[in-house]
Structure formats: structure tokens, C-alpha cells
Structure 1
Amino acid sequence: MQRRTILTGTALGVAGAALGLTRPAGARAGQPARGLLAVRGVTVIDAARGVRRDQTVLIRDDRILDADSAQRVPVPPGTRVVDGRGKYLIPGLADMHTHATGIDDTDPELYVVNGVTTTREMSGGAEARSWQRQVAAGERLGPRWTVGSKIIDGTPSLWEGIDTDNDLHIAVADPAQARAAVRQEHAAGAAFIKTYTRLSRTAFLAVAEECRRLGLPFLGHVPDFVELTEASDRGLRTVEHLFGIWYDTSADEQRLRRAVAAVPIGPGEYNGWFNRMHPLEYAAACTYDRRRAERVFRRVARNGTYVTPTLVLHETNDLPEQIDRHDPRNRYFSADMIGFWDWAVDNLYLPGRTPARIAESRELFRRRLSLTADLAAAGVPLMTGTDLGTSYLMPGFSLHDELALLVRAGLKPLEALGAATLNPARYLRRSDQGVVARGALADLVLLDADPLHDIRNTARIDSVVVRGRLLDRAARVHLLADIEARVKQPSATPATYRGCACHGPARAVV
């Protein structure tokens, strides 16, 4: 299949000139020119300090020089000034659960044009590492990327037959193999280790111990055979998705755990795992004990464990009948990408959806929203993530959908913004990120409307500042038009598809 490279190498220079993003001789593509940029008279909103009106934010290169009242921040002559009156400035957004799809090569630019300036890659493939290098070298526009390990799963692994080249997962049968996998990925430069669904308890504990020895974070799915509280106690840094949370909070926990352990799952049985686990997950959700849950969640919060709910993923999995296959945002994706999404929905999501199963799934998603609110109320830090790679989830665009679902779940808009800005920065141990303050990174989003009035206003973007470089309204419009035109270029070879319904990238077979 022909790849569609967006704004790399020479193409970026040509497009940059067309978009008014020219730079002085010697500067690299995608990097800010020397000089000052000021956003003046703007309302600043961040989760650390709330709302500050009539502010001037002064930027040089990739740092905020000052951010204070317009009267206290002078704007030097020659500064490029953006009129912020009537607009709202927030920190750049973070998508903390992504997977490079391997079909459209457009993710970096789509993230940035949507105000997503930080991403975390959860399956450590070559695609994301390539994007990370290109962005860091200034060869293309893109977010700051944190790239993890290959997925460490048990054996048989849900990835067998899907990741046929073994470039995205490692299956381990025992603690020795688990420790070796951690060492291998650490040596390869992984920023963290990703644990997965069918990892045995002994192998999981070995991963935890080896990561502790190496000083390497580990995070991911709570395996079927491990309690949430034990995973958190052992140092699991973030819990990805809500699947593994119900059992610790169920009044019928022990019976359900025995049932989960007895479920036979063969190699590569993604759809089988969902189908066989659904009755048990539904039973656990229906026996949710709020007092028990509060004790569990406060323990998780004390341990400093984060949760990435990925509500957009759960909505897609639980309610595939509601997927909008005619979403106008689809124009930014190739026929191959849309083809994979449709293939997955028709072959993996919809078969076997009886009226009873649909009714249960609706109730389960309603309970997931309530569960998310309970986690936040107990002090568990939440982060936004989309699980890009799942059908009809889109780089950048779906992060705004996730914010809307967090508010629908019961979070206040400022709390939802914190999940997309301040909490990811704290997770990354970056005091200079996720805030609009002196000395912070100049990753910012200028909005036309107040996100605290309506969280959906995060999608009403005027401009984006990424690494100190301004992508103004006209540049955003031109960049989106360029992406739309490029993904319409026909593939050299028609593609057929195989892949998992969620949690991982589509793989094109040509």
C-alpha cells in the first residue's frame, strides 16, 4: 500500500512557505524563528490557577517568558502580536493513549492542528518512533512524543496472528521471560513498559520488580489474573481503560475472579476475549459496591496511580450501532483507513449483537461514566486518552470527544481540562508543562469560545502554538486542506485488512 507522507522533508518547506510559516536561513523546519510572540488581552485558563482575564502571554522560542496582566507585561517593539481579546488561551492538550495505525501518515499534523501537543504511544512500534525522530529533528510539525515498549502479554497472547511480525508485542510464559522482555525494551530505549491483558500474575510481578530495579515506569492493562489494588501497590503507574476496575469494586468479587480465571482464551482471540468476558464484566458492574469502590479508589490514589479511562474507546466498543460512518471529519482520512474502520465494525463489532446484548452494553457504558466520576471524586488523577487505532477514532479530533465524555460523566469542565493538561504533565514529572506560566513550555491553544461554559468549545480553535511556533487560523485551514487533498491520492495497491477491534493498530495486507 502506498503511504501518504504529510509535510516531511522538502514538502514541509514548500508547504510552510505557502502557509506563511517561513523561517530564517539556517533554521530547521518545524522550529520557531528567533523573535518574540505575544498573545495580548486574552483570558487564560489552566487547571493549576483557574481563570485569569486580560492577560498578556509573551513567548520566545519554545518557552513562555512571562504571563501576567496586560498592564504588567510590556510587549517589546518588533514582537509579533496576536489579539487575544474575546478569546481563551489554554495549555496544549495531551492524548495519553495512542497507537500509530500504519495506514495514513498524517497523525502528527492532525494532532497539532487539533491542539494536541503531547502524545503517549502505547505499543512502541517503528512508526511512532519515526514520527518522534522527525518531529524532534524539526522535519515536520508534531507533538512531543513519549514512546513506550512493545506490549508485554502472556501466552497465549491476544496478539498472536495479528502482530504477525512480532514488532508490537512480546509474549512471555514465565517470570524469567518477563524480566528478559523488560531488559530488552529498556535497552531499546522504551520510556516505559506496557503490560497487557493475559499476563499471568507471576509474570506481572516479575515485570514490576524488574522495572523497579531499572527505575523504569510500567503501566497498561490490569491483567485478568491481577487485582487492581495489587497492581497499584506494586507500582503500576497508570491504569489504561476501565475493563480491569470492576472486579475489585464488586460485592461478588471472589466468584467473578474464579470465573474470569476459568475462561479459556486462545491465541489471537481478541473478539473471543470481549465476547467471553462481557457477561462477567457486566455482572461485576451490576454488583458494584460504592463503599468498597471508595476504599479501593482511595488506596489507588494514595499510591499515585493514574487512570486513563479512554471513554471514546468504550463508547465505540459498547455502542457500535451508534458509530457515525458519515462524520464530516472523515474527509481527513484515506479510503484505506475508512475501509479498515468499516471492516472492523462489520466483522468484529456488530456480529452477535442481539437486542439483549445491546441493552446490556448501553447500561454498561452508562455505568462506565458513573465509574469515571467516582474515580475522580476519590482523588484518583485521570488523564485523557483515546486509544487511537480503534475504528472511527481520529488523531486529535477524538481527544475533544473524550473531553466531552468526561464532562458528561460528571467532571467539571476545568477538571476535564486538567485531565488533558495538568495531570499528564504531572505524570510526566514536567513542572513546566500543562500550565500557562512564566518558564513553561510554549505549547498553547487559543480558543474562540469559553471551554468552561461548554467543554465542546475546546474544538473551536483559532490558533495553536507548538514548541513556540504559531499555527494561526489561516495556517490551520491550509494545513487541513493539504491533508484532505493528500489522503485522497489513490493507493498504489488496494489493501485488505486484518487487525484487532481495539487497543492496537490496523495492519494493512497488500
Structure 2
Amino acid sequence: MKKRLLLLLTLAILSCKNTPEPLDKDSDFDLAITNIEIIDLEKGDLLQNKTVFIKNDLISAISDSQSNTSTATQVIDGTGKFLLPGFWDNHVHFRGGDSLISANKNFLALFLANGITTLRECGGDMTSTILDWQQKIANKQLAGPTIYTSGPKLDGKNARWEGSLEIASEEDIAPALDSLQLLETDFVKLYDSKFTGELYLKTIKAAEKRKLISSGHMPFSVTLEETTAAGMDGIEHLYYVLKACSAEEDAITKDIIAGKTSFWASLDRVMHTYNKESAKTAFATLKSRDVYVIPTLHINHTLSYLDEENHDKDEYLYYMGDGITKTYEGRIKSALNASAAVVKTRKQLDSAFVSLVKNLQDNKVKLLAGSDCGAFNSYVYPGISLHQELKALVKAGLSPLQALQTSALNGAKFLKKENIGSIKENYKADLVILNANPLENIDETKNINLVIKNGKVFKSLEQLKTTP
């Protein structure tokens, strides 16, 4: 325990100690990364032997290393290394109540050590704490990734998750959205545990009218056409897209509304009625309406195989703490007690989702890499799980470049954030230096040399573990 906490504390307070001493206090820039290979995520180009100058947390200039005449207070030699925008994890959770605030705060260090400089936080029961961290990180009072948060989830009456804002009638919609805007949250997150289809669609329309970005689960009591027409911007997870690929989507929706079946009971039917023409229509709808999809392949595989895979020796269990691992018990118990039919369906879904992702990419539907890490999501560990998600996307058929685009590049576009997520002049200097080229092997995203965030340079987790 002490070693783990010391490791995290070391990261949290570490700044530019890994770089040379200042060269010139009167220099032109704060930091220069010389002789580096820049990966242009938009074009897929590799820009060789470049120097990147940083001042006041912004990329001030990019030049050929041979022609450099400018000076910098600190210099990093990037020879043989590769520069990317800092990674974005586009689906994470901080949650578990007051007793787990400290454990959740430790995750900030794990994210940075894994090169993740931005998070899209998708709701929980720690909103005031998250907003406090958000401000302190922005003000450089706390080391951590930039956090864009939904604040509380929106759901129906008697919602599953603590901290949710419940919408039991149409009159509840405006006050719920008012509260999110008062908190200055970054998007609206809708959940599907208790939402009626009617109120769900009306909530999306109300958010759209206010020009708020919305994403979420979809009740099976609505169709993909209805949801996207209402103004939904992002679909979390693949269950809902897969349902839209069924030749019986409308019939399944009607049966759900009539109470003849349930979400889980209908999934086998959804899979076995997959239809190429229905899928083509669904993909065209998502593309034409600029709706992003967050596949979360890694968590689905992890949870689908809890009955087979032993995680007792996972390295990252070392960093979780007893409070977090205690929250894993619910899903583990459910998996171990599931019937053979349920286990079979889960594993078939895992395969179906992998195939679906390649079809989405081929049909030019925009994807976001998100891990869904956090308390309650068993063995999906903050930090490393984003890299596992990127690997899962490549295994599903995306190229390494396409997988990388789903992180920072698409993350910034989805939230309509400017001057971040790419390596360009006047862009935020959230950067990760890799020891090898991830365009050749996606596993190299874990081969981190240094991470740059808020003007500070952080070591990777592997380096910290060997720090005397």
C-alpha cells in the first residue's frame, strides 16, 4: 500500500526534473522538443526531424531541426522518438461516493502516466468533487488530465446510478437541464435504466434546442432514427446501433414498449436478425447526422469473459485500492451466477460488436475511443484501459492511424473544442512522446517516454516504477 501511494505521489508532484537544467532564463520559449518525428493524425503523415517550441502551454512554433536558431529554457532531445497529441479517454467515470474520493483522485496520476491528457467524464455521484478537480487542474494547482464532464446523468424515476437527475415527467426536463447549465457542464449524458422513450426523446430535443451536446445510452423503447432525429450527438456502446441493424428493429421496439420482452432478453433476437440493408440504413443515418459512436470494445470483452479469465495477478490491481476492487464484486458475482444461455449471448455479442466496429469505420461513421473505466466496472483500469481499447479497435479491423484518430482528434471534434487535439501552432501543448512508432504497431502507444501537460513534463509509469 505504501509503495503504491508513494508511486502516485511521486507522479503528482513531479514536474520538469527529468529535463536538463535551464539553458537561458531569457530564452524565447519555455520548452523545445528537438529532432522529433511528429505524427500528423489528420493526414497520417510522419513529419521528420522537427523541433516543437512551447510557450505558456501552447505550441508556439514548429520548424525543421536543422534550421533552428531559437532558444528554450528547457530542451528535450527527441531523437528516434515520436510525438503525438496527448491521448483522450472519451468515456470514464469518477464515482463510488465520498468514501472513494481519494481512490478516484489517485486515478488522475495513472491517466497522466499513461499519456492521457484529457478525459470525457460520463457521470457519477461525485460532481462537486470533479468540478473542483477540473478547476484546480486548469489552474495548475493539481496534476491531472483536463476533465470535460457531463455532471450528473439524466435518467428516469428510481434511476439505477447514485447521483442521477431523475426525469419522471415532462416538467422535470427544463429544471434538469437548467441545473447542468448552472454547473457549466460540458455535455449532457442520458442513461437508459428507467427513462421512458417519450421522455428520453423530449429531453434530447430540449437539449438540442439549447445547443447542448448530448450523448448516452438508448432505451430499447426508441429507435435509432427517432433518437438521432431528436438531436443525439453520441451513442455510448454498441447495443443500440446493433439493434438498428436488425430487420426487426421496429418490432423489437414495440415489444419492449408493450412489456413483452426486455433489453437483455431481446439481445439474442437482435443478433440473429442482423440485416445488411438495415445496417446500411443505420450507418447512413449516423453518418449524415454526424453522430459519433463510442464502441467500448475492451470493457465489453472483459465483462463477457469474467467467468473464464482470472484477473488476480493483473498489474493494475496494485494501483486500485481495496475500496475500488470492492465495487467490482457485483459484476463478478453476476457473471459467475449467469445461466449458460446468458453467458453464450454475452460472448456472441462480443464477437458481433467487433464485426460492427469495422462496418462503422468502413461506412465513415465517426468513432470515439473510450474505456468506460472506473469504480464498478470490473478490471477495466484507469489509464491502461484506453490503450487496450485502441488495440481492440485495431484488432477489429481499424488501421493504427484510424484507431489513434478516435482518441484526441475525434474527441476534440465531438466536444467542439478548438485548438486542442492536434499538433499545430497555437494549439494546446498536451503532448506524449513515444519511444517507437504506433503507426507500425498500436502496442507502442504504451511505450511512453514523456508526457507534457500544463507546462510540466511527466514520466511514464514504467519509468516511475524504476525511480530510486
Normalized against structure 1, the TM-score is what?
A: 0.81
Structure 2: how far apart are the matches of 1:61 and 1:385?
Answer: 29
Aligned to 1:80: 74
Counterparts of residues 75-224 of structure 1 (less than 5 Å)? 75-102=69-96, 103=100, 104=103, 105-123=105-123, 125-159=127-161, 163=162, 168-197=163-192, 198-224=194-220
2:343 aligned partner, one-letter code: I
Q: What SS class does the counterpart of residue 71 from structure 1 fall into?
A: helix
Residues 1:426 and 2:413 are matched in the alignment: yes
Alignment equivalent of 2:227, drawn from 222, 227, 231:
231
User: What do the CA deviations read for 1:398-451 (whole angstroms, capped 9, x no partner)?
Assistant: 000000001011111000000011101111223422211211110111111111
2:422 to 435, 439, 443: 435
Aligned to 2:330: 344
Partner of 1:492: none
User: 1:469 and 2:456 equivalent?
Assistant: yes
Contact 2:232 2:291 in 1 (8 A): yes
State the 1:476 CA deviation.
6.9
Return the letter of the residue paired with 2:276.
Answer: R
- Separation in 1, partners of 2:28, 2:169: 54
**Partner residue of 1:374?**
359
- Aligned-partner Cα distance in 2 for 1:468–1:334: 30
Contact 1:157/1:171, CA 8 A, preserved across alignment: yes
3-state DSSP class of the match of 1:173? coil
Give the deviation of 1:253 after TM superposition: 1.9
* Stretches of 4+ aligned residues off by more than 6 angstroms: 4-8, 11-14, 21-24
Counterpart CA distance in 2 for 1:175 and 1:468 is 46
Using the alignment, how far apart are the partners of 2:310 and 2:292 within structure 1?
A: 28
Return the alpha-carbon distance in structure 1 between the equivalents of residues 217 and 420 of structure 2: 26
1:184-333 equivalence runs, <5 A: 184-197=179-192, 198-263=194-259, 277-321=263-307, 322=309, 324-333=311-320
Q: Calculate the TM-score normalised by the size of structure 2.
A: 0.88
User: Could you tell me which amino acid in structure 2 is paired with residue 281 of structure 1?
Assistant: L
Q: Is the 8 Å Cα contact of residues 239 and 305 (structure 1) preserved in structure 2?
A: yes
Number of the residue aligned with 1:508: none
CA separation in 2, counterparts of 1:345 and 1:49? 41
Give the number of equivalent residue pairs: 448
Using the alignment, how far apart are the partners of 1:405 and 1:204 within structure 2? 31
8 Å CA contact 1:12, 1:139 repeated in 2: no
Q: Is the 8 A contact 1:150 1:169 kept in 2?
A: yes
The sequence identity of aligned pairs, in percent, is 27
Deviation, 1:278, is: 2.9
CA distance in 2, matches of 1:223, 1:215: 22
Kept in 2, the 8 Å contact 1:61–1:469? The answer is no
- Tell me the SS of whatever aligns to 1:107: helix
Q: Give the secondary-structure state (helix, strand or coil) at the position aligned to 1:134.
A: helix
Measured against aligned partners, the alpha-carbon deviations of 1:265-293 in whole angstroms (never above 9, x if no partner) come to 9xxxxxxxxxx533311221221112221
Distance 1:217 1:357 in 2: 35
- Using the TM superposition, give the Cα deviation of residue 323 of structure 1 relative to its aligned residue in structure 2, in angstroms: 5.2
1:208 positional shift: 2.2
Any idea what SS the aligned residue of 1:106 has?
helix
Q: Deviations over 1:363-394 (max 9, x none)?
A: 21011011111111111110111112211111
Q: Which runs of 5+ in 2 are unaligned?
A: none
